[in-house]
């Protein structure tokens, strides 16, 4: 009897260990790197856009610089350029506003699943301007047949020349359509993220932020997803 009882107890203990191991194994890490600007290859994952595609005169660049103090690594990304409210002479484009630039990630191979996370964190150093963080998700909000991804946006205000870790809850991102907030109760699907972007406008933003035409500069160390709840 004692032998059977010992075998039974050993089986119970093994089952308990398996349950504990499986639960820990299934729990995702508390943070997940999405972008890390520690290599010049990171530039290849992004493309730039600006009002110059529509007759504007704004310009932007993205490069990796070495030897930057304050970052987690020796290299960081630098998104910089010039915002202009002017239009090129003879332009046939009829755009309502100029003075914008952005860096958008190229589409992921499929999508990334952030369903286990609740916050986007970015280590940034700004110039006093207000930037816009955008998350693009697989199109399911808009009507079938539209090719554009769903976009969700949040303001990122950065005081001049100081590294900060900005944390934005996913539920703080607002649904937008071509830069305008959609007045509807919609929920992001974080399991179907297809891309991200950071952009800047010459006008708008939050009170106290630098506005108007002129140079801009945003340094990016990394972008992560966090589980804080």
CB 124 within 8 A of CB 218: yes
- What are the percentages of helix, strand and coil residues in the chain, rounded to 5? 20, 45, 40
With a cut of 80, say whether residue 43 has pLDDT above it: yes
Q: How far apart are the first and last CA of the chain?
A: 48
d(CA 217, CA 169): 24
Domain range annotation of the chain: 29-226
**How many helices (H) does the chain have, and how many strands (E)?**
1, 13
The predicted pLDDT at position 18 comes to: 45
Q: Strand ranges (DSSP E) for 67-128?
A: 75-83, 100-105, 119-125
Q: What separation in angstroms does the CA of 148 have from each of 34, 50, 227?
A: 22, 18, 28
With a cut of 80, say whether residue 211 has pLDDT above it: yes
pLDDT tens digits along 154-210: 999 988 888 999 999 999 999 998 778 888 778 899 999 999 999 999 998 899 999
d(CA 16, CA 22): 10
Superfamily of domain 29-226 in CATH is: Galactose-binding lectin (2.60.120.430)
Q: How confident is the model at residue 1 (pLDDT cuts 50, 70, 90)?
A: very low
pTM of the model: 0.82
Lookup: tokens for 178: 């071509």
CB 133 within 8 A of CB 198: yes
Q: How confident is the model at residue 83 (pLDDT cuts 50, 70, 90)?
A: very high
Average pLDDT, integer, range 219-226: 96
pLDDT tens digits along 126-165: 999 999 999 999 876 555 555 678 899 999 998 888 899 9
The predicted pLDDT at position 71 comes to: 65
């Amino acid at each position: 009897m004692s032998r059977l009882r010992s075998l039974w107890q050993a089986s119970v203990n093994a089952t308990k260990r398996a349950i504990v191991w499986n639960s820990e194994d299934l729990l995702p890490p508390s943070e997940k790197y999405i972008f890390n600007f520690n290599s010049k290859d990171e530039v290849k994952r992004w493309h730039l856009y600006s009002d110059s595609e529509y007759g504007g005169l704004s310009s932007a660049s993205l490069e990796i610089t070495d030897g930057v103090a304050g970052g987690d690594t020796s290299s960081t990304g630098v998104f910089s350029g010039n915002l202009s409210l002017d239009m090129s002479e003879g332009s046939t484009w009829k755009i309502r506003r100029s003075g914008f630039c952005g860096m958008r990630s190229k589409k992921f191979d499929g999508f990334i699943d952030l369903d286990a996370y609740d916050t986007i964190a970015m280590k940034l150093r700004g110039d006093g301007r207000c930037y816009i963080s955008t998350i693009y998700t697989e199109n399911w909000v808009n009507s079938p047949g539209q090719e554009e991804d769903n976009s969700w946006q949040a303001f990122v205000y950065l005081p001049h020349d100081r590294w900060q870790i900005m944390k934005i809850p996913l539920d703080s991102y607002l649904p937008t359509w071509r830069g305008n907030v959609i007045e509807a109760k919609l929920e992001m699907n974080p399991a179907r993220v297809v891309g991200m972007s950071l952009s800047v406008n010459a006008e708008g933003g939050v009170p106290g932020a630098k506005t108007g035409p002129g140079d801009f500069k945003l340094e990016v160390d990394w972008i992560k997803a966090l589980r804080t709840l």
